[in-house]
Structure 1
Amino acid sequence: MISDRREQKWVAEISEILDRQLEIEVEIPPAVSIFQIPEIITTKKPEAYKPQHVGFGPYHHFQPGPYSKMQQKKLVRLQRLLQNHKIADFRGVVVHKVKKLVPVIRACYDSFLPDDNVSMAWVFAIDGLFLLHLFQVTNTDSDQIPKVDSTKRLLAQDIMMVENQIPFMLLKEINEALHSSSPGSNDFSPSIYRSFSEIHSPLKLCPLSKAPTNHVHHLLHYMYHSIINNVPTPTFDSVHLPVPGRMTKILLPGIVNFVEQLPTDEIVRLYELAITSLHNFSSIGSGTTIPSASRLQSRAGFQFHSLPENGGGVESVYVNGNTIYLPPVTLESDSDVILRNLVAYETLMPHSDHHPLAEYASLMCGLIVDVEDVRVLKQHDIIRGELGEDEVAEIFVGMSGSILSSKIKSKSALQNMIVEVNKVYEGRPRIMAYLFLKKLAKWVLVFLTHIGSVVGGTWKIVAFVAGLVSLVMLTYKNYCDVYGCDKKN
């Protein structure tokens, strides 16, 4: 006998959930598809993953902010839809039908949902009707994508968030309840998401014939697979160029003689300054996957071109000669949030070691580090939309820290393309000279750090290495005088 009331309630709820799940026959059990996003992804911009205006489903429906602001609007939409279908008994026709499905819907969430089935049924019925009405009024047969005001884009941001997804099976169940008087006339499919996805997706969707039709989990799942369903294009053969340079033999003896004559305290100061300078110089550009667009264009002669209208999407990026072909991306005020949640959803999907959207996003984060890069890509019709150059740069610079790296057995076509582009870029004489200086700086940094920790009084050795540091920095200065160095270097 359980004496604790909380434990009694928990056992009763678990028992009811299991009984209901055993009662309901489902051809294919639902996969976990609605996740609470881990802090490692959300930490830099949490507002991009937590709804700011409207909460859907058990994760956010009852939150005070979104719930209180949008609850009345949900009820107005609900009333309008019920009136259109001449339904007076909302509880009996819709809520009762949804309640039977709640135990199965629970399996779609990655966390245990403590609310009872009755409360959950009301939440799902209200939220599901709101979304169903929204998708229905958004659907249009026109080939032209309508203009959307800022208020609707704010709403779209919340609707597209991973934690705010509502299962497709729920919308289908509600739609069947609305058409219960004429079941034969009801034709409901994931294409209900099509128009909304076309309006708000930053990337072009695949043709309707290739869009997902079976086992669609929710709106985000539909948009994601509509973006991904494209075939990649083969990469190109790389070109390698020779490396120049021989300044070391001329300058080294004089610098070492000068440094050896310095007093010990000056050598110590020079040693500490050298450590700082070497660390700063050798870490420039570390962690980037590909040089920025403006550097590729100005320093390696690369050009950019948008893929043709039917040329594919994120897995169709390729290089032909010195031209990089990229899918056009249309960026509006809601695109940052939508892109982030699409990438997060891809990352969190179970049993997946294929992350093409995350790879594409990482590529764009490497290509765009400031407004000059945006300007280059806009000139070639790769960046589209109403956002300004600074706003576009802010999207990709900000997103770079929210994309988790994944371990895969073999490189994708896009990763191989990046390797080939880097080979060509790093084969340019001016870049090879710069990279040689960086490698030299790293070697000297390791050696100088080791000397400083174990040698102690042997300051002639320290003086020699510090002189070598001065040589590296002087060589770098001369390199910049000849070839130019910007803030990206």
Structure 2
Amino acid sequence: MDPSLISDPREAKWVAETSQLLDRQLKIEAEIPPVSIFQVPETITSKKPEAYKPQQIGFGPYHHFQPGPYSKMQHQKLLSLPRVLKHHKIPDFRQVLLHKVEKLVPVIRACYETFLRDDDVTMAWVFAIDGLFLLDLFRTYDRGHPINKRLLLLSQDIMMVENQIPFMVLKEINQALHSSSSDNFSPSIFRSFCEINSPLELCSRLQAPSSVQHLLHYMYFSIINNRPRPPAPSPPSPSPSPSPPSTQDNLPVVPIQQSLDIVSIVETVIDLSNLIEKVPDKEIVQLYEQTITSLPELSTTKTTIPSASKLAARAGFRFQDLPQDEGIQHINVIGRNFYLPRITLNRDSEVILRNLVAYETLIMLDSDSDDYHPLITEYMGLMCGLIVNVEDVKLLKKENIIKGDLGEDEIVKMFVEMSGGCMLSLKTKEKSKLQEKIDEVNKVYESRPMMKVEYFLLEKPANWMRVGLTRIGSFVGGTWKILAFMVSIVTVFMLTYQAYCDVYGCEKNNLKLMLPYASS
């Protein structure tokens, strides 16, 4: 008999499971909730996957059975069950709580982005155990009890996109535990946890969202909706911005011994020409190709916004912290005063910020409406531009914009790493208010006289050289000694550029042309 005609038992099992799940889904009478718990794509997680996969404790169908967290915390979850049930005088866990959660499972499935293959009974056990543990943990925060180190270690895992438990599960469990007072259960159960762990200030309790999908949803909207409560008295006008420093004040004082030494540069041209005569043709070709590759960077590289220390030192910007009730939507630039919200950075802050950005990205990609705007993503992009070295961190700490226990080097490392891939480019129909403010800052910064000097003396010649060398290389053929001379000219240009950078500073990373035989 042809083996291809024999049905695969795995296929039959899949058909049976899918049929059962579909039958249950069709019987749902409750309103189907929107998808709110996503799997984070590799385009976001690739640079730092451990920031999106729980390391200590896993919740829900995505991570409850993940081997590492399961072995670490499953025992702790099970130990908390009898204590909580005894406290609430629940005699029969299965009858009072588990069966109620099981009836809710078909609706819960709709909250998850991917198809969940586990049967309803398994899912009910997972949600009942995880939900009861989380509910007890949030109560611990809410009562103001001391938070031990073990709980603090769990906070970053609890905030991960893939580790969320639907709010409806917590509400159902609370109803089973407190049948008489279940109507009072609200997302405010998340408040104390978020106040302790959120890197950014939250809106007031009265403005906090009253209808949420899960914990991360609550924190996200509490952050972006942080604004003064209406009617609010008009905030005092910012102090008048200091008069712009004169052109001469903007120019750094250059000691004579640090000025560009033209004589030594000319001597370098001669030395390099003699040096390159000794270099084999093959190495000349490689050097030529490296030069062609390097020049476009010098002529085209741009940054979103200059760093905080550069804005302060070179353009006279002053950084000031916003009031506590003004969040990321109130970032403002008035004259040369730059107003930013406070951010508290501790050990778990990077993971929480990364997952807030990921969540915002995923809800925007999943939504057909234009109601969402990448507010946190744009804010983090701004901070990644402002913070590139320790001097930037020191300046923002001095102005009370950055707080927390994280060290200065660690803060720099965090923002540099986050700028490298966790924030996807999201297109919007119109330019945001924050981007308009960034454009204002860049316009002021780029209008400096030294910026124009750099463009006309460095960037334009670099572009000309790139075009010229490319054309020469297309017809010179084997006459690599001619190209060698051209490369030596470009090398001198690079040295001049480096000397300029040493004196005046540059907007880009200094380029270093590596000569293989320079030390011979």
Q: TM-score per shorter chain, which class?
A: 0.7 to 0.9
Contact 2:247-2:449 at 8 Å conserved across structures: yes
TM-score of the aligned structures, taking structure 1 as reference length: 0.86
Aligned equivalent of 1:288: 303
For 1:175 and 1:51, locate their aligned partners in 2 and report how far apart those are by CA, in whole Å. Answer: 25
Unaligned runs of 5+ in 2: 229-234, 236-240, 252-259, 511-520
CA contact (8 A) 1:56 1:165 kept: yes
Whole-angstrom distance in 1 between the partners of 2:278 and 2:316: 48
The separation in 2 between residues aligned to 1:60 and 1:263, in whole angstroms, is: 60
Kept after mapping to 1: 8 A contact 2:57/2:73: yes
In the alignment, what sits opposite 1:455?
476
Deviations 1:448-481 (A, max 9, x none): 1342134326779757854652563354245235
Equivalent position of 1:408 in the other structure: 428
Q: Which residue of 1 aligns with 2:362?
A: 348
Equivalent residue number for residue 201 of structure 2? 204
Answer yes or no: is 1:327 the counterpart of 2:330. Answer: no
The alpha-carbon deviation at position 331 of structure 1 amounts to: 0.8
**1:151 corresponds to which residue?**
150
Cα deviation 1:201-234 (Å, max 9, x = unaligned):
00000111221112x110001100110114699x
Matched, 1:126 2:125: no
- Give the whole-Å Cα distance in 2 for the aligned partners of 1:278 and 1:316: 44
CA contact under 8 A between 1:251 and 1:471: conserved in structure 2?
Answer: no
Structure 2 residue matching 1:62: 3-state secondary structure: coil
Q: Which runs of 5+ in 1 are unaligned?
A: none
Alignment of 1:391-406 (within 5 A): 391-401=410-420, 402-406=422-426
Residue 281 of structure 1, CA deviation: 6.1
Secondary structure of the structure 2 residue equivalent to 1:80:
helix
Instruction: Kindly indicate whether the alpha-carbon contact (under 8 Å) linking 2:302 and 2:508 is maintained by their aligned counterparts in 1.
Output: no
Query: Whole-Å Cα distance in 2 between the matches of residues 306 and 373 of structure 1?
Result: 15
Structure 2 CA distance for partners of 1:92 and 1:473, relative to 1, 3 Å: same
Aligned partners of 2:387 and 2:393 also within 8 Å? yes
Residue deviations 1:52-78 (CA, integer Å, cap 9, x gap): 111100111112211121111111222
Asked if the contact 1:53–1:65 (Cα under 8 Å) also holds between the matched residues in 2, the reply is yes
Q: 2:141–2:147: 8 Å Cα contact kept in structure 1?
A: no
1:488 deviation in Å? 4.8
Mark the CA change 1:95 to 1:9 in structure 2 (over 3 Å): closer, same or farther: farther
CA-CA distance at 1:18 after TM superposition? 2.3
Label 1:63 to 1:287 Cα distance change in 2 as closer, same or farther (>3 A). farther
Provide the residue aligned with 1:476 in structure 2. 497
Match of 1:19 in 2: 23
Counterpart AA for 2:391: E
Q: In structure 2, the residue corresponding to 1:209 is in which secondary structure?
A: coil
Partner Cα separation in structure 2 for residue 464 and residue 420 of structure 1: 43
Which residue in 1 is equivalent to 2:96?
A: 93
Note if contact 2:345-2:403 (Cα within 8 Å) is conserved in structure 1: yes
Residues 366/263 of structure 1: CA separation in 2 closer, same or farther (3 Å cut)? closer
Q: What is residue 190 of structure 2 aligned with on the other side? A: 193
| CA contact 2:277–2:481 (8 Å) conserved in 1 | no
1:445 match: 466
Distance 1:409 1:465 in 2: 47
Q: CA RMSD in A?
A: 3.7
1:51 equivalent to 2:54? Answer yes
Question: Could you state the TM-score of these two structures normalised by the residue count of structure 2?
Answer: 0.81
- Name the structure 1 match of 2:444: 424
Distance in 2 between residues matched to 1:257 and 1:334, nearest whole Å: 56
Q: How does 1:219-238 map to 2 (within 5 A)?
A: 219-230=215-226
Indicate how the Cα distance of structure 1 residues 454 and 8 shifts in structure 2: closer, same or farther if over 3 A, else same.
Answer: same
Q: Is the 8 A contact 1:153 1:333 kept in 2?
A: no
Structure 1's 430 and 330: CA in aligned 2 closer, same or farther, altered over 3 A?
Answer: same
Secondary structure of 1:205 counterpart? coil
For residues 481 and 68 of structure 1, the distance between their equivalents in structure 2, rounded to whole angstroms, comes to 54
Say which of 38, 42, 62 aligns to 1:39. Answer: 42
Q: 1:272 to 1:129 in 2, by over 3 A?
A: same
> Does the C-alpha gap of structure 1 residues 21 and 428 become closer, same or farther in structure 2, counting only changes over 3 Å?
same
User: Which segment drifts farther, 427-436 or 412-421?
Assistant: 427-436
